[in-house]
Chains A and B, each alone.
Chain A
Amino acid sequence: MGKDGSSFFFTTMLEETAKWAQKNSLWPMTFGTSCCGIEMMSTISSTYDLARFGAEVVRFSPRQADLLIVAGTITTKMAPVLRTIYDQMLEPKWVIAMGACSSSGGIFDTYSVLQGIDEIMPVDVYVPGCPPIPEGLIHAILHLQKQIDKSLERKPAEKPTFEDSQNAMSYRKSVDGVKANFIITPEYVNEQKNLRGEK
């Protein structure tokens, strides 16, 4: 109790307790679309045993989960589905982008693949690798636990507009005025090399 009668002590303790409970019982909703999904299964099963860190209860329903692990390539056709799943999850919720494809599109810089899931939703932790080893995912979850503990600032869960999602594509950002017909030409490669100071 404070001197003025406010109950800050109790509320602080409650927040701390809630944080402690949240970080030690992350229930993952798994979204494995390619080879990263195999590593994720390996992480959850007995050899690596994610249960040691309180994240073993895999929910295949977004309503019951509070951690979304996106493991694999997300195509532009799959993106609205993934966004719907994210919207269906209840707050508080966190997102891990596992692997190169879900972080940045990976090697698939083509007409059909989303260049990173951060175009359509906020991401808390990125895991590099193609695919990352199970220790990588465990490290990401431990890192996320630290983030929850420290109440680090999170990006608000807002749906980007269509223009936002288009502008988020890296190659469009780098070239002004070129909207839909961007093709890599020798001139463009030389220009980029000059910008970077290469010869």
Chain B
Amino acid sequence: MKTSSVSPNAKYLATQMALTEYLKTQFGTGRKIELDNFEEVIVWAKDPADAKRCVKDFMTDKNIQMDFLSDLTAYDNKDGEDGDKRFVLVYQLFSRTFHTRIRLKCLLDENESALTIVDLFAGANWLEREVYDMFGIDFKGHPNLRRIMMDERFTGHPLRKEYPMKQREPFKDNIRLHLGANEDK
């Protein structure tokens, strides 16, 4: 078995820390940049528009090339641990060239709507629908923003903290399979 003096983990950490330094110099103005327990970088965008700008910049920047959207999700910040706004939107980005990761976070109010990134990553379509379904976050410019997991007649957003965990809504029948907005409604 081939052995190397630098372990893969140390190599990964080195690239990840170089990325952090680069982000601090290039994208650090006005944005909070911090590290988590695994030395992976978290960038806090200023607002939803800034979050989209960040995603686009990270994607097009030749030095980092974040060309893969691993995940797009959100969490309820009701206890106010991460800021004074209600929700936190999380973008997990990965570079297939450098094998580095960025976690981009953005604070959102309950009535505030995020900007869609479907025009940048087509795979964000269903992820944004899931976030809309579970948290009720509106994505401006999304081509087909409707519930993806729960029934379309379902009321409420189950992953919000105030939603009663056991509140079920059974329906007698299913909505006909359809693409786009539901005309029967």
Contacts and interface: CB of A to CB of B under 8 A. Distances in A.
A57 interface: no
B165 A111 contact: yes
A111 B174 contact: no
Given A77-B174, A80-B173, A162-B172, A110 B166 contact: yes
B151 A111 contact: no
Interface in A19-51: none
Contacts of B173: 80
Given A111-B158, A112-B150, A112-B158, A76 B171 contact: yes
B170 interface: yes
B165 A77 contact: no
A2 B173 CA distance: 51
Interface stretch (A92-100, A140-148, A164-172): A164-172
A158 B94 CA distance: 53
Nearest to B174: A80
A181 B167 contact: yes
Given A81-B174, A112-B158, A76 B168 contact: yes
Q: How large is the interface on B (under 10, 10 to 19, 20 to 34, 35 or more residues)?
A: 10 to 19
Interface in A106-138: 109-115, 119
Given A76-B151, A111-B158, A166 B164 contact: no
B163 A111 contact: yes
A80 B164 contact: no
B169 interface: yes
B168 to A, nearest CB: 6
A180 B164 CA distance: 8
A78 B149 CA distance: 11
Contacts of A77: 149-151, 171, 174
A182 B167 contact: yes
Nearest to A166: B170
Contacts of B172: 80, 162
A89 interface: no
Nearest to B158: A111
A118 to B, nearest CB: 13
Given A76-B151, A77-B151, A112-B150, A165 B170 contact: yes
A183 interface: yes
A109 B164 contact: no
B135 to A, nearest CB: 14
A81 B151 CA distance: 13
A79 interface: yes
A15 B151 CA distance: 45
Interface string B12-24: 0000000000000
Nearest to B171: A80
A91 to B, nearest CB: 22
A77 to B, nearest CB: 5
B168 A111 contact: yes
Given A77-B150, A112-B158, A171 B166 contact: yes
Interface of B: 149-151, 158, 163-174
13 contacts: A76-B168, A77-B150, A77-B171, A80-B172, A81-B174, A112-B150, A112-B168, A162-B170, A162-B172, A165-B170, A171-B166, A180-B167, A183-B165
